[in-house]
Amino acid sequence: MKFNRHQPMPEAGFDITSMIDVVLLLTIFFMMSSQFSKVVQRSLDLPKEVGDAADKPIDAEVAVVVDLEKDGRLSVGGRVYELDRLAAVVAADHQKVAATGQVLDVVIRADRATATTHLSRLVSALSAEGVTEWRLATSGERASSGGER
Amino acid sequence: MNFRRREVRAIESIPRLSLVAFIDIVLFLLLYLMLAGTLAPPESRLAVGLERPSPATGKAPPLSPIKLRVDRSGERLSYHIGQREVEGREAVVVALTQVPKDGGVIVTGGEGTIVADIAASMQAAKDAGFTRVSYAPGK
């Protein structure tokens, strides 16, 4: 009899199909969520306060996040606006959201070293457009005793 | 004729895609995105209203709000609750805990104050149990 001695033995291995599925799913998830956080958040040194106990997360559908930098520069979604233009944009969003029976959630992310005059100018301009409720973003951590320096 | 040998050769000649490099890249991307996602810190928020002049009506005015003013002199912060000066943030929380809260509190910032001072005052009011915190922009 003639045996085929050179026939290779089948390799013992494991099925990596499901692993690739899971890894790709996780990759897509992190890519998407990183993109969102980039849009909403700009690198700012926020006031070191715990914030409201009853704080609710930002619903991107009915929220506008205004970034206020140390020098008073204003931006929404990374785009810089003049104060008047920004107030008009927020007012337009305010009306659009009000038409659906909801209230526009205005979140101000201000650098903690920003002069109060810049914040006052912003909220006064928003108030003139009918936006009188807003939320001030904080870092979520407790400041040192006696307030911030 | 040897058909078998030719068949084996045909199977061997099919190009096969190596998954090793692909898995390396995908795992690298996964690690990078996981770390980048963790670097974005969670934030919190303080709900604030804007002080508005109350409309002139025939009804009796509601309980008047507490006025909390913060001033900065260099590195030193001083707080005023109404006319009373309060030293330190903890003392502000204690003082605000003892007053009626129905009228809410209005926070104002003096000359030279920064956003951190306003946030600290608002946080003190929240810590004292106030749910209605308003901000009055300086003139």
Let me know how long chain A is.
149
Is B30 inside any structural domain?
yes
CB contact under 8 Å between B42 and A140, yes or no, is yes
What's the 3-state SS for B48-92?
EEECCCCCCCCCCCCCCCEEEEEEEECCEEEEEECCEEECCHHHH
Whether residue B130 sits in one domain with residue B62: yes
Whether residue B35 sits in one domain with residue B54: no
Cβ-count burial A97-107 (b if 16+ within 10 Å, e if not): beeeeeebbbb
* Helix or strand holding residue A106 (H, E): strand A105-110
pLDDT at A103: 85
Extract the tokens encoding A8: 């290779």
Residues of B in contact with A139 (CB under 8 A): 41, 43-44
pLDDT in tens, A31-73: 777 666 555 567 788 999 888 877 777 777 788 889 999 999 9
Whether residue B105 sits in one domain with residue B126: yes
CB contact under 8 Å between A133 and B48, yes or no, is yes
Residue B81 distance to chain A (closest CA, Å): 16
Residue B28 sits in which domain range?
A: 3-39
Whether residue B126 sits in one domain with residue B82: yes
Residue B114 distance to chain A (closest CA, Å): 4
Q: Please indicate if any CB of chain A lies within 8 Å of the CB of B71.
A: no
CATH number at residue B101: 3.30.420.270
d(CA A36, CA A32) in angstroms, rounded, equals: 6
Is B44 inside any structural domain?
no
pLDDT at B43: 77
Whether residue B129 sits in one domain with residue B72: yes
Whether residue B35 sits in one domain with residue B60: no
Which residue in A117, A138, A148 is closest to B43 by CB distance?
A138
Whether residue B90 sits in one domain with residue B26: no
pLDDT at B57: 53
Task: Delimit the domains of chain A by residue range.
Answer: 60-136
Provide ipTM, 2 decimals.
0.71
Is B107 inside any structural domain?
yes
pTM higher than the cut 0.80: no
User: What is the count of structural domains for chain B?
Assistant: 2
Q: Considering the domain A60-136 in this protein, what is its CATH number?
A: 3.30.420.270
CB B69 within 8 A of CB B80: yes
